[in-house]
Structure 1
Amino acid sequence: MVLKSVWKGVALTTRVGPAVVQSGYTVVKLSMSTDAAERLSIGSLFGAGVDRNTMAAARLTSLQNKVAYIDVQSYVDGLASAIDAGSSRELFAVFGALPDDTESIELFLPNMGVALGVPVVDADSAGFDVTAAIADAKIDESIHSGPFELNSLVVAADSSADTEKDAASTTVNVSGDVLFATDSAELSGKADELLGAVVEQLELYPSGGVMAITGHTDDVADDAYNQGLSERRAQAVSDRLGELTDLSGWEVTVSGKGETEPRVANDSDENRQLNRRVEMLLTPTHPDEASSMSAADVSASSGDMPDPKGPVGRGPDGVDIEINGVPARISLDSVTRYEGYLVGTVEISAEQEVDVPLYLLQIPNDLLMLRMWSSYAATGCTLLKGNSRHLVVDFRDSNEEHRVLGSLLHDNLTANDVRSVPVVWPDTGEDTVTMDMIGEDDTFGQHLAVRLTDVPVSEV
């Protein structure tokens, strides 16, 4: 697989693969070449901001199996020295061992893109010395490579609800402030609209399963009152869902947790609002029933798109923006539908050298808090469908930290640089998509606001 990219204004060609499983590791070969007129430093190309000379931000994924792996090397020799003018460099990414029956993988490379369909071969067919590659790798045994389950999160544009999916379950959180009046368990006039999203999820699984409905409150009022209110609200939602759809195939449990299980700390009005919610955890008997549906079978999100917060233009044409007052440009030529996901590479360029704000691609804090993502990653690149935002796919590592399949944008942009920001989203089921970045600058600095429309979806 070949990826074309630009780094520090210099064109790079990276050949990815094959991948080989041996001695408890998966080794992926990378061959990088450039026609640069002078030496090119690549020390921070694959790192996660401060992790120079590592592949800390590279991800091996099996999108078919909905899992990701982290590179286990503490240091990569080939990244420490620059590539000489007109020469090439051979590198090896090292991850945990794939299952024996894996035939291909994807390799997510920051500042480059995503290599799809990288073949997994045996050592005899690799074309390189696998044993030597593993022996030379600076493997840090403390790094847990995975596999980690991939998750997708869809949020209402007005933050009234969000839906999270992993391989085994679906969790829908609906805002208590929209479902109910203050201190009330009587459903509001907007409740049916929000619960319709839950019905939509239930109908994806004709065989049914188990659904746990749980009420939650903030920490205002005493514990006993909050516990009772959360129980009454959960029961009201359960009763109404039973009227809106047939729940005979679902084993339903109803409970309240009061203020005991907040999503975020109860330290601001905004956070307390996030904590006032009713959660519905769906564990279907046959999770694959939903994934077996074609994209055309997935119903469209209702409602109108929210107004854009910044400039608007067609993704393939690109849109003019500013970074720290310097004219720049952002584009998204297309995305590729692959194994239930959409894979794309956002490109950002500047007319002259400019320091990139650390938080430029960050999602606003109220959504960032849902996951506690790294502030430096491309969390702000959302796909907007109707009034729903499809956020960047993520996973939870061994330290319980959420990591996204959305590249960093760090270091300065040089003149004529075209920085590649690969991103993976859940499939929206559309022929064209709209990428929307909300912006909303805060005390951390500039966050990019822009909308890219009419981005074509290609099929592999």
Structure 2
Amino acid sequence: MQAVRLLSLEKGLAFCEVTTGGGNETVVPGESAELFPVFGALPDGLSSVDVFLPNVGVALGVPVVDADEAGYDVDAALADAEIDESVESGPFELNSVVVAADGSSDMESDDASTTVNVSGDVLFATDSAELSDKADGVLGSVVEQLKLYPSGGMLAITGHTDDVNTDEHNQDLSERRAKAVSDRLGELTDLSGWEVSVSGKGESEPRVANDSDENRQLNRRVEVLLTPTDPSEADAAGPGAGSAGSSGEMPEPTGPVGRGPDGVDIEIDGVPARITLDSVTRYEGYLIGNIKIIAEEDASVSVGYFGVPTGMYSLREWGAYQSTGFGLLKGESRYLLVDFTDAGGVNLPLTNFWRNRLGANVVQSFPVVWPDTGEDTITVDAPGGKRLGRPVFAVRLTDIPVVES
């Protein structure tokens, strides 16, 4: 039960546990064990919360009650708890990242703003600020976002480069690339309601360290930050609106494919296994599911096996090895798991820690939370590839029904 999270999916908030230790009590067959995680005080007005339970699932709509209604001795539970006063409980805003399947762009949204990063390698030729033939298709994701907010707002367009060449050269190139994107967006859509700023950062603000060709590619980008005057206008467009590539064709699968409710036969460490996802639940703008894997024999795997490959991990550096590879696929858009950034700047996804082993015929549950994409059925995809030189999981689960909470 370590890494239990208190959530308010209604408000888009997460809270971290402030107790230390515990969470590993043994549950004996026929008996029970009680655990008392402690969180900071909740904001006023929350009558219910949701609880993310690792290896189990997500409990929705848990009532918030006064201490005298708890049904247990709250004072005793607090007295026994080892509280780490240095831990900030939150609340922290839940975030979602959407990645174009071809890597041409990625998008992150919260309640106040949306950031779209567009690949410089797709927009421009090497060392050039002249837009390529593919640029309009990629900038279409930005145009879709802009159209969600008729009242306009603030629009900041910033160019970035890698560390190849001199500081002066990269600064000039980043400024010219940002200007080219700004000019083209003005031709593709009406920007009269937006206060537009254009700048270049050269190599001064990399997303990741410039220590490999793959990372340098991520750093060559144009960042478009939308801060709308009325963020609620996007709600009228419905769930999943404005996502890059959502209406295109899905990429080809890289692993076995089958219906989620029926399950898919896979192999883990040479051991036959089966993975299923019966359904997901629509709740307060999110989709909540419980992926289950069962192996026929004991199986050992690397701790990052169920994670995302290196290139995708660099887009969203999560704070621990976890089962982050399970993305929701809609058209050409890959929705990564919902996460939040804690007080230390660490990104924490709503999924399990992975303990690098599967027991024979023991069901391993992976609770997962994604943004609601507005569909009646969804497809879940783990893209495969490598992480730190080791292979990661590849599978596709289709026709997973969405049920109302």
TM category (shorter chain) comes to: over 0.9
* 1:107 partnered with 2:51: yes
- What secondary structure, in the 3-state scheme, does the structure 1 residue paired with 2:267 have? strand
Residue 306 of structure 1 is matched in structure 2 by 251
Residue 232 of structure 1 is matched in structure 2 by 176
Say if 1:364 and 1:60 are closer, same or farther in 2 by CA, change over 3 A.
Answer: same
* 1:376 partnered with 2:321: yes
Tell me the alpha carbon deviations over residues 212-253 of structure 1, each in whole angstroms, 9 at most, x when there is no partner: 000111111111111111111111111111111111111110
Residue 41 of structure 2 is matched in structure 1 by 97
Letter in 2 for 1:384: L
Residue 72 of structure 2 is matched in structure 1 by 128
Letter in 2 for 1:262: P
Number of residue pairs aligned between Structure 1 and Structure 2: 404
Contact 2:155 2:196 in 1 (8 A): yes
Letter in 1 for 2:116: V
2: distance between equivalents of 1:113 and 1:80? Answer: 17
Aligned counterparts, 1:35-114, within 5 A: 46=1, 55=2, 57-76=3-22, 79=23, 81-114=25-58
Letter in 1 for 2:125: A
Residue 155 of structure 1 is matched in structure 2 by 99
Contact 2:154 2:196 in 1 (8 A): yes
Residue 169 of structure 1 is matched in structure 2 by 113
Residue 390 of structure 1 is matched in structure 2 by 335
Residue 394 of structure 2 is matched in structure 1 by 449
1: distance between equivalents of 2:110 and 2:255? Answer: 32
2: distance between equivalents of 1:232 and 1:81? Answer: 59
Residue 403 of structure 2 is matched in structure 1 by 458
Tell me the alpha carbon deviations over residues 391-433 of structure 1, each in whole angstroms, 9 at most, x when there is no partner: 0111111111111111123253222211110011112121111
Residue 256 of structure 1 is matched in structure 2 by 200
Letter in 2 for 1:429: G
Residue 279 of structure 2 is matched in structure 1 by 334
Letter in 1 for 2:21: Y
Say if 1:241 and 1:404 are closer, same or farther in 2 by CA, change over 3 A.
Answer: same
Letter in 1 for 2:52: F
- Normalised by the length of structure 2, the TM-score is 0.96
Q: CA deviation at 1:129?
A: 2.0
* 1:412 partnered with 2:357: yes
Say if 1:443 and 1:396 are closer, same or farther in 2 by CA, change over 3 A.
Answer: closer
Tell me the alpha carbon deviations over residues 53-93 of structure 1, each in whole angstroms, 9 at most, x when there is no partner: xx3x11111112111111111123xx454233311122222
Residue 311 of structure 2 is matched in structure 1 by 366
1: distance between equivalents of 2:6 and 2:200? Answer: 39
Counterpart of 1:195 (choices 139, 146, 149) is: 139
1: distance between equivalents of 2:390 and 2:218? Answer: 24
Residue 325 of structure 1 is matched in structure 2 by 270
Gaps of 5+ in 2: none
Say if 1:254 and 1:428 are closer, same or farther in 2 by CA, change over 3 A.
Answer: same
Q: How much is the aligned-residue C-alpha RMSD, in angstroms?
A: 1.6
2: distance between equivalents of 1:169 and 1:238? Answer: 18
Letter in 1 for 2:297: Q
Gaps of 5+ in 1: 1-45, 47-54
- What secondary structure, in the 3-state scheme, does the structure 2 residue paired with 1:369 have? helix
Contact 2:178 2:198 in 1 (8 A): yes
- Normalised by the length of structure 1, the TM-score is 0.85
1: distance between equivalents of 2:128 and 2:363? Answer: 53
Contact 2:260 2:277 in 1 (8 A): yes
Say if 1:230 and 1:297 are closer, same or farther in 2 by CA, change over 3 A.
Answer: closer
* 1:275 partnered with 2:208: no
Q: CA deviation at 1:298?
A: 6.1
Say if 1:118 and 1:292 are closer, same or farther in 2 by CA, change over 3 A.
Answer: farther
Residue 84 of structure 2 is matched in structure 1 by 140
**Higher mean displacement: 442-451 or 429-438:** 442-451
Counterpart of 2:383 (choices 438, 442, 449) is: 438
1: distance between equivalents of 2:139 and 2:275? Answer: 37
